[in-house]
Homo-oligomer: A and B are copies of this chain.
Amino acid sequence: MIARVIVTPKPVVNDPQGITVKQGLATLGFREVSDVRVGKYIEVNLEAETEHEARSRVEAMCKQLLANHVIEDYRFEIDMDGHKRR
């Protein structure tokens, strides 16, 4: 199955990448953009017996490695069919 994890900077945390992208978009003429935030998208292929087990394992991965919980939030969804969608 596949877990699709999204890690984003917490709202109170500065996001220099987002500011740079916003400025780049403005330079290109996209002046309707008021804010940009940049995070990470992580696709994890894993084996698990049940969705519940997968969920608990991916939760542990986020806490231990994928996200820095001081400055980042994370969320994920589990796709049991596991079709790769890249």
Contact = CB atoms under 8 A, between A and B. Distances in A.
Contact of A6 (B24, B28, B41, B75): B41
- How many copies of the chain does the oligomer comprise? 2
A66 interface: yes
A25 interface: yes
Q: Which of under 10, 10 to 19, 20 to 34, or 35 or more describes the interface residues of A? A: 35 or more
B41 A10 contact: no
Contacts of A60: 30
A86 B28 CA distance: 26
Contacts of A7: 41
Interface of A: 6-11, 18, 21, 24-25, 28, 30, 32-48, 57, 60-61, 64-66, 73, 75, 84-86
